């Protein structure tokens, strides 16, 4: 079996020409040749959200700027280029790195974690692993600091080029039990680490946490000196605030601003700010807190955006300030399958305090664009697509309605494909049979806590169609192959097919919603090339097949897609969809 080069260069999608960069990462062990193999001819994803039907007018941009499961954004600027990272939990490769000239149009340039077994996620729920990375730049080096929950703790990564390669993880002793570390480089050259941790004396109630600071020795790459608690509980301990986290410090007009998320990651999420004359405090809260939330708005508003918080600020080259933050687009009030997404808003200043969004204001879907970079040139009225991005063959849209098609003609996987946990074997193969995705099926099922032979892409729309063409298995009983719609190991759908005899193929739909898997629909047919399609319309999921170009036929319509929502399935990730094969 030809070994797949585990490079995640952008390639294969019709919206972007193939670019096959040399692999900089190690290869997993070759898959055992006896594994049954499934063959996929193509994959197509088409987003169709009503909120995105109208193109963003010239001079504006579309929120979210990164649609789908892109939570906990952190951003920094070097010269005229911005760099952004997100949490990836147990998905691999981990921590995508994006670049942009305008904060609006983002291109993924690499991943911080791109070497198999660099971190071990085996046995972990999909919502463990990488939490809340922060990216910063100092003296020619890029730094990313993050928490690998249950997988090594708080860690630092360093690179000269944000596209990589990044260093192996550098453990930071002394932050055990804490999450969401952040870096601050002061004007005197000193570096500090802030993080969420237990308060002095321990928690007094569920969700009672604190924000701490300690100096970082950059040369030794370790924490030094005393630790100090900056915030106990939140901006008002008397109200028993919960889950103060995601701290960032900025220097502005002589003040040290400490900005944090507060209220948990659901509908009570918010962003608060405090300030002091020293990074050690004492920090006093802004009387106008929170500076960002959606918790006080009516839940029945049109096209609501909820869960807003976990922000990071950055100054543009023209002196304007901007905030990236997470939020969600729910349906039926509380369900959201697209996870927590990355949004962008301008920051206004009042008496030295930053305001992301005034109280009572809904987050807008369409916003006036920055006056710098690509957004400014696009604002002159040039051709755009539905996302408001330049109508360029080299731009892969990250928001708005779009169709992306992967013909698997490149020898390396498209950058947007992810693995659930790190692969031990190179089971996804684009070289054995050129023009096809060959999946050498593993026995681990979707309900496993190990890596399974499932290629996942983010669900980026409330309404979407995902389809593929599959060569029917040659032998009965050894492999099931198809499309999976996956939230975590206990909540998923598998639209699959298997050969049951020399002449007959069975199409089936499996559902797992809790701890039991059931087959909820089957049909038998003939054919060697079979197309499968998942059609999602908010909570309404339907499953179709097309054998021998006879037209789409329903296998199961109007199934409950809310089982793929975060509020039902739990955790912190969004739903994924993609090709899957299972050795039976």
* Domain final residue, candidates 311, 343, 378: 378
Residue 164 located in a structural domain: yes
How buried is 431 (Cβ within 10 angstroms: 0-12 exposed, 13-18 middle, 19+ buried)?
Answer: middle
Residue 283 located in a structural domain: yes
43 plus 172 within the same structural domain: no
Check if 245 is active-site: yes
130 plus 190 within the same structural domain: yes
Residue 233 located in a structural domain: yes
Please measure the distance between the N-terminal and C-terminal CA atoms of the chain and give it in whole angstroms. Answer: 20
For the four alpha carbons of 365, 370, 373 and 376, in that order, the dihedral sign comes to positive
Check if 72 is active-site: yes
pLDDT at 481: 98
CA-to-CA distance for 49 and 472, rounded, in angstroms? 32
205 plus 339 within the same structural domain: yes
Helix (H/G/I), strand (E/B), else coil: 566:
helix
Helix (H/G/I), strand (E/B), else coil: 490:
coil
CA distances from 158 to 147, 259, 296 (A): 15, 24, 40
CA-to-CA distance for 496 and 483, rounded, in angstroms? 6
475 Cβ partners below 8 Å, 6+ apart? 36, 499
359 plus 408 within the same structural domain: no
Residue 32 located in a structural domain: no
Question: Could you say which of 72, 118, 125, 429 is catalytic?
Answer: 72
Structural domain boundaries enclosing 281: 64-378
CA-to-CA distance for 544 and 481, rounded, in angstroms? 14
pLDDT digits (tens, 9 = 90+) for 255-285: 999 999 999 999 999 999 999 999 999 999 9
pLDDT at 55: 84
Residue 272 located in a structural domain: yes
Domains: count for the chain: 2
pLDDT at 583: 95
333 plus 480 within the same structural domain: no
Residue 384 located in a structural domain: no
166 plus 315 within the same structural domain: yes
Say how many C-beta atoms besides its own lie within 10 A of residue 83's C-beta.
23
* Single pTM value for the model: 0.92
Residue 387 located in a structural domain: no
We report the CATH number of the domain holding residue 281 as 2.115.10.20
CA-to-CA distance for 17 and 411, rounded, in angstroms? 13
pLDDT at 477: 81
Question: Could you say which of 245, 262, 271, 374 is catalytic?
Answer: 245
Would you give the DSSP letter of residue 52? G
pLDDT at 395: 60
How buried is 114 (Cβ within 10 angstroms: 0-12 exposed, 13-18 middle, 19+ buried)?
Answer: buried
Q: Is 112:148 a contact under the CB 8 Å cutoff? A: no
478 plus 329 within the same structural domain: no
pLDDT at 548: 82
101 plus 246 within the same structural domain: yes
Residue 474 located in a structural domain: yes
205 plus 326 within the same structural domain: yes
Say how many C-beta atoms besides its own lie within 10 A of residue 403's C-beta.
15
Q: Is 403:45 a contact under the CB 8 Å cutoff? A: yes
Give residue 561's Cα distance to chain centre: 20
Sequential DSSP letters for 435-460: TSEEEE-BS--TT-SS--SBEEEE--
487 plus 342 within the same structural domain: no
294 plus 190 within the same structural domain: yes
CA-to-CA distance for 365 and 67, rounded, in angstroms? 12
We report the CATH number of the domain holding residue 449 as 2.60.120.200
CA-to-CA distance for 285 and 273, rounded, in angstroms? 6
Task: Output 273-276 pairs: Cβ under 8 A, ≥24 positions apart.
Answer: 273/353, 273/354, 274/231, 274/235, 275/352, 275/353
CA-to-CA distance for 390 and 369, rounded, in angstroms? 13
554 plus 498 within the same structural domain: yes
pLDDT at 118: 85
Helix (H/G/I), strand (E/B), else coil: 115:
coil
From first to last of the 584 residues of the chain, give the pLDDT tens digit: 333 333 322 223 233 333 323 333 445 655 555 689 999 999 999 999 999 998 889 999 999 999 999 999 999 999 999 999 999 999 999 999 999 999 999 999 999 999 987 899 999 999 999 999 999 999 999 999 999 999 999 999 999 999 999 999 999 998 888 999 999 999 999 999 999 999 999 999 999 999 999 999 999 999 999 999 999 999 999 999 999 999 999 999 999 999 999 999 999 999 999 999 999 999 999 999 999 999 999 988 989 999 999 999 999 999 999 999 999 999 998 999 999 999 999 999 999 999 999 999 999 999 999 999 865 443 322 333 333 344 343 467 899 999 999 999 999 999 889 999 999 999 999 999 999 999 999 999 999 999 999 999 999 999 999 999 999 998 888 999 999 999 999 999 999 999 999 999 999 999 999 999 999 999 999 989 999 999 999 999 999 999 988 899 999 999 999 999 999 999 999 999 999 999 99
CA-to-CA distance for 349 and 544, rounded, in angstroms? 52
Q: Which residue has the tokens 């100096």?
A: 215
pLDDT at 2: 32
């Amino acid at each position: 079996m030809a070994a797949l080069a585990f490079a995640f260069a952008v390639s294969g999608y019709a919206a972007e020409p193939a670019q096959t960069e040399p692999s900089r990462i190690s290869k997993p062990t070759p898959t055992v040749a006896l594994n049954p193999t499934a063959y996929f001819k193509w994959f197509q994803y088409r987003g169709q959200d009503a909120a995105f039907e109208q193109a963003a007018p010239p001079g504006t941009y579309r929120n979210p700027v990164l649609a789908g499961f892109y939570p906990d954004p952190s951003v920094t600027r070097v010269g005229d280029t911005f760099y952004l990272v997100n949490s990836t939990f147990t998905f691999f490769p981990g921590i995508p790195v994006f670049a942009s000239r305008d904060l609006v149009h983002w291109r993924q340039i690499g991943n911080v974690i791109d070497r198999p077994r660099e971190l071990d996620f085996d046995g972990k729920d999909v919502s463990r692993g990488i939490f809340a990375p922060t990216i910063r730049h100092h003296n020619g080096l890029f730094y990313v600091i993050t928490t690998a929950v249950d997988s090594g703790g708080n860690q630092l990564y360093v690179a000269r080029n944000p596209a990589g390669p990044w260093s192996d993880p550098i453990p930071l002793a002394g932050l055990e039990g804490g999450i969401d570390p952040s870096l601050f480089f002061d004007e005197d050259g000193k570096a500090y680490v802030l993080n969420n941790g237990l308060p002095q004396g321990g928690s007094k109630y569920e969700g009672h946490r604190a924000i701490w600071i300690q100096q970082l020795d950059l040369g030794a790459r370790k924490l030094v000196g005393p630790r100090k608690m900056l915030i106990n509980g939140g901006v008002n301990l008397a109200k028993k605030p919960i889950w103060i986290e995601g701290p960032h410090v900025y220097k502005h007009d002589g003040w040290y601003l400490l900005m944090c998320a507060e209220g948990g990651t659901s509908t009570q999420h918010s962003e608060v700010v405090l300030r002091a004359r020293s990074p050690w405090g004492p920090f006093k809260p802004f009387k106008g807190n929170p500076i960002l939330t959606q918790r006080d708005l009516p839940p029945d508003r049109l096209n609501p955006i909820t869960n807003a918080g976990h922000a990071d600020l950055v100054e543009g080259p023209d002196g304007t300030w901007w905030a990236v933050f997470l939020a969600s687009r729910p349906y039926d009030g509380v369900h959201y399958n697209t996870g927590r997404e990355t949004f962008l808003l301008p920051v206004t200043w009042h008496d030295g305090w930053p305001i992301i969004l005034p109280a009572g204001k809904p987050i807008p879907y369409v916003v006036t664009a920055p006056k710098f970079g690509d957004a400014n040139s696009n604002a002159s009225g040039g051709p755009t697509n539905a996302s408001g991005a330049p109508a360029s063959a080299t731009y892969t849209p990250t928001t708005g309605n779009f169709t992306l098609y992967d013909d698997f003609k490149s020898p390396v996987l498209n950058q947007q494909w992810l693995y659930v946990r790190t692969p031990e074997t190179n089971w996804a193969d684009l070289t054995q049979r050129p023009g096809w995705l060959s999946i050498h099926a593993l026995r681990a099922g979707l309900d496993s806590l190990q890596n399974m032979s499932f290629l996942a892409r983010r669900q980026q729309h409330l309404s979407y169609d995902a389809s593929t063409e599959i060569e029917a298995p040659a032998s009965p009983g050894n492999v099931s192959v198809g499309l999976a719609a996956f939230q975590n190991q206990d909540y998923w759908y598998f639209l699959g097919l298997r050969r049951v005899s020399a002449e007959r193929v069975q199409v089936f739909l499996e559902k797992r919603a809790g701890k039991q898997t059931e087959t909820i629909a089957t049909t038998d047919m003939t054919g060697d090339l079979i197309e499968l399609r998942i059609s999602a319309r908010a909570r309404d999921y339907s499953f179709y097949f097309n054998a021998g170009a006879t037209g789409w036929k329903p296998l199961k319509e109007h199934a409950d897609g809310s089982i793929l929502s975060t509020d039902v399935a739990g955790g912190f990730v969004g739903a994924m969809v993609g090709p899957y094969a299972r050795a039976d």
